[in-house]
Structure 1
Amino acid sequence: MDNAILYAFLLTLFAGLATGVGSLLALFAKRTNTAFLSVALGFSAGVMIYVSFVEIFPKALDELVAVHGEQSGTLYTVIAFFAGMLLIGLIDKLIPTAGNPHESKYVETGSATGSAAAESAVANADVQKTGLSHKATNRLKKMGVFMALAIGIHNFPEGLATFISAMDDPAIGLAIAIAVALHNIPEGIAVSVPIYYATGSKRKAFRLSFLSGLAEPAGALIGFLILMPFLNDTILGLVFAAVGGIMVFISLDGLLPAAREYGKAHHGMYGMVAGMIVMASSLILLM
């Protein structure tokens, strides 16, 4: 049991620290490879959607039906699934668009995708690094800190989802951890770029991005400590169903729209199909 907990926690830590990878990509590359991001985000969505409907939801249904009977168990599973969607939807609603990692941003600046301001900012990046006004510097710094907080809040339920999945099935947990890690790369970019532009310090930008990713294992640890005393077949089934709802919402509301914005028309879709194929193949091989 201890080894299972350690494995699940390490997977969650790996997924969370991918924000640091995104930060490094942003700080040391002249221009983010948006085609890669588009495919990666689509891939992540494909893994999450497939595993939610093919593995997680059926597992939750089996657990709850076994305890409460077919009719009540099915009802509890469906309610918990949509409750997970409601939870992450409320978190999105409470976080304004400017700091919300599920709202599509122009990846280099954190501004609305395709806006004239964003395009101008990227075109004049070298000038901005040294010639920002005090007001602009403060605004960018505030944006970066706010986005780090917003991403941290979002990472709590994602961390719990990865952790619980890995506890129940290490193979499923690994697939979800990889999907969440891919999802976290552009979030790391979104945090680090405005901080770097505001302070001129790559170290500060990386540190804040890195810390925002630690909310992932923190969410897993806090959730586990709260749930552990009450963990039984019913709670496990309800949590699994809610995790499925959370991942489907994140995929449809955040990953796929962002994948479409960052790449060409079909990059995100190709990535999504590839993610589903890889997830399906891995499940067959591990049977």
Structure 2
Amino acid sequence: MNPALKGILYSSIAGMATALGGIPFLLWRREVSRKTLDVLLGFAAGVMLAATAFSLVVPSINLGGPLQFIVGFTLGAVFVHIMDKFTPHEHLIKGYEGPLSHSKMAKIWLFVIAIAIHNFPEGMAVGVGAFTKEAIVIAVAIGVQNIPEGTAVAASLTGAGYKRGRTFWITFLTGAIEIIGGLIGALLIAIARPLLPYAMAFAGGAMLYVISDEIIPETHSGGFELLSTYALVIGFVVMTLLDNLLG
């Protein structure tokens, strides 16, 4: 299969895995505890961390060398930081972030924007990774972590009072954002193949920034930091084993 088409296909499948996590909330309306949310997000963070290290950072260095890795990785982190600072968005746990003047946009769209900022680099990682031998590993990693992430998103929306149907479609939309990232990443490398090591490092830097700046602080703010830490360790171990099995 053409690598660009593979990147688009894989990012679509990985993104739609988010909707799998929201399916239970179509069947029943039950509030999920903060402890469960922190464990789910901790596991997702561990999977993302392993994918970043072994499927993006290491291949980037192998393909382009330390300098290209440093440039791409730093730019990825800075990109998400700028998006966080200048784009109005809302976290259901952390609250509003962005420009000091509070946005008049509907709160739910602020929430969707927040997820978009986080999921775009994940989709880009899958799209870019399609041009490497780590293609399936990256896609599986993002897909696996998207399932508990989707559950956490749907649980948060349900707890905030949103109806089941709307909760599912918003969860679906947050996963669909990864398709855009995958499309851009795949087309970018198809046009300019020498950018591959930079792009892989960029996606890795963006994902690591999200893990450190958003996911871990949120899972450590509700009193269940020990459980979320062990969930992260388990997620890291699971993804490392999958990386070896699939690689």
Q: TM-score, normalised by structure 1?
A: 0.70
Deviation per CA, 1:112-165: give whole Å up to 9, x if none.
9xxxxxxxxxxxxxxxxxxxxxxxxxx9x9111222233234432221112222
> Deviations along 1:232-267, whole A, 9 cap, x unmatched?
2x3110011111111111111122122223562311
Paired letter, 2:93: K
> Is 1:41–1:255's contact at 8 Å kept on the other side of the alignment?
yes
- 2:144 corresponds to: 178
d(CA) in 2 for partners of 1:195, 1:142:
15
Whether 2:225 is the aligned partner of 1:265: answer yes
Take 1:263 and 1:6, find their aligned partners in 2: how far apart are those partners? 44
Instruction: Return the letter of the residue paired with 2:195.
Output: I
Instruction: State the partner residue of 2:90.
Output: 100
Structure 2: tracts of 5 or more residues without a match: 98-103
Q: Mark the structure with the bigger radius of gyration.
A: 1
Assess, with a 3 A threshold, how the Cα gap between structure 1 residues 266 and 177 changes in structure 2: closer, same or farther.
same
Which structure has the highest helix share of the two?
Answer: 1
Residue 220 of structure 2 aligns to a residue whose secondary structure is helix
Q: CA deviation at 1:6?
A: 5.1
- In structure 2, the partner of 1:149 is 113
1:252 equivalent in structure 2 = 212
Give the corresponding residue for 1:61. Answer: 61
Contact 1:167 1:173 in 2 (8 A): no
Worse overlay, 148-157 or 81-90: 148-157
Q: CA deviation at 1:269?
A: 0.7
TM-score, scaled relative to structure 2: 0.80
Q: Which position in structure 1 is the counterpart of 2:101?
A: none
Match of 1:91 in 2: 83
**How far, CA to CA, are the matches of 1:254 and 1:75 in structure 2?**
27
Residues 206, 285 of structure 1: alpha-carbon distance in 2 compared, 3 angstrom cutoff: closer
In structure 1, list runs of 5 or more residues that go unmatched.
66-73, 113-138
- Shift in alpha-carbon separation, 1:62–1:271, aligned structure 2, 3 A: same
Structure 1 distance, partners of 2:195, 2:75, is 14
1:57-109 Cα shifts (integer Å, max 9, x gaps): 121111113xxxxxxxx22211211111001111111234xx334xx607xxx
Q: Secondary structure at the match of 2:221?
A: helix
Counterpart in the other structure of 1:236: 196
Distance 1:18 1:276 in 2: 19
For this pair of structures, how many residues does the alignment match? 238
Aligned to 2:126: 162
Question: 200, 216, 224: which one pairs with 2:178?
Answer: 216
Preserved CA contact (<8 Å) 1:195 1:205: no
8 Å contact from structure 2 (residues 43, 235) kept in 1:
yes
What one-letter code is carried by the residue in structure 1 that aligns with 2:208? V
Task: Report SS of the residue matched to 2:225.
Answer: coil
User: Judging changes above 3 Å, is the alpha-carbon distance between structure 1 residues 48 and 282 closer, same or farther for their aligned structure 2 residues?
Assistant: same
